[in-house]
């Protein structure tokens, strides 16, 4: 019974993620992404990380989802474009190598390789997060921003209609 909130939030997150990749309408897919992000915020709240839960809701469920909706509305995709880009179950076979890697890594982590440590109790504070983010993890943090920018530019470039009628 203690796991019931976790199971409900996990089920909602998985349903939202499946909706993102399987729905034909981009607006509905973005709303499913919102469901996934809010469910993840619930997971953070269950882990006694209220700051991370608030950041998840404010940044991802708020700003990023609104940005995605804005891009989808600006692209103004026609119905014939949406029909061409449908989810095909045969593409699920491409996920098998990723699933295999995930299972191997899960087995390694459960075997106790020492890669994951609980860490001291003070690591969950906002001060410790900010300190580690802007000292030890500064370059990966900056590269993540550049990667997100490149992904957004690539998504707009791929879905942009050509003036020649294509």
What's this model's pTM, rounded to 2 decimal places? 0.56
Domain boundary assignment for the chain: 1-93, 124-161
> What does CATH list as the number for 1-93?
1.20.120.1200
With pLDDT > 90 as the criterion, what percentage of the chain qualifies? 16
Residues contacting 33, CB < 8 A, separation 6+: 16, 20, 65, 68
Helix ranges (H only) for 23-159 are 26-46, 50-55, 65-75, 79-84, 96-110, 126-134, 138-159
> Which one is predicted more confidently, 3 or 17?
17
- pLDDT for res 38: 93
Residues contacting 65, CB < 8 A, separation 6+: 30, 33, 34, 37
Q: Please state, in angstroms and as integers, the Cα–Cα distance from residue 124 to each residue in 5, 118, 129, following that order.
A: 22, 11, 7
- The predicted-structure confidence for 37-54, as pLDDT tens digits, reads as follows 999 999 988 888 888 888
d(Cα 71, Cα 33) in Å, to the nearest integer?
14
- The predicted-structure confidence for 67-116, as pLDDT tens digits, reads as follows 888 887 887 766 655 566 555 666 666 677 777 777 777 776 666 545 45
- pLDDT for res 87: 56
42 exposed, middle or buried (CB, 10 Å; 0-12, 13-18, 19+)? buried
> Which one is predicted more confidently, 115 or 130?
130
- pLDDT for res 88: 62
pLDDT at residue 135 is higher than 70:
yes
Mean pLDDT over the full length of the chain = 79
pLDDT at residue 9 is higher than 90:
yes
Average pLDDT for 140-164: 82
> Which one is predicted more confidently, 121 or 10?
10
- pLDDT for res 160: 76
């Amino acid at each position: 019974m203690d796991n019931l909130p976790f199971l409900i939030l996990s089920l909602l997150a998985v349903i939202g993620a499946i909706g993102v990749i399987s729905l034909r309408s981009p607006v509905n897919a973005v709303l499913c992404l919102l469901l996934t992000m809010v469910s993840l915020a619930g997971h953070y709240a269950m882990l006694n990380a209220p700051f991370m839960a608030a950041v998840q809701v404010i940044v991802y469920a708020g700003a990023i989802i609104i940005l995605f909706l804005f891009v989808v509305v600006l692209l103004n995709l026609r119905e014939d474009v949406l029909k061409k880009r449908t989810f095909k179950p045969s593409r699920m076979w491409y996920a098998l190598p990723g699933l295999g890697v995930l299972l191997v890594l899960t087995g390694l982590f459960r075997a106790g390789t020492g890669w994951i440590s609980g860490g001291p109790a003070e690591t969950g504070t906002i001060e410790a997060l900010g300190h580690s983010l802007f000292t030890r993890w500064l370059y990966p943090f900056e590269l993540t921003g550049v990667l997100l920018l490149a992904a957004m530019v690539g998504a707009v470039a791929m879905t942009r209609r050509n003036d020649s009628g294509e």
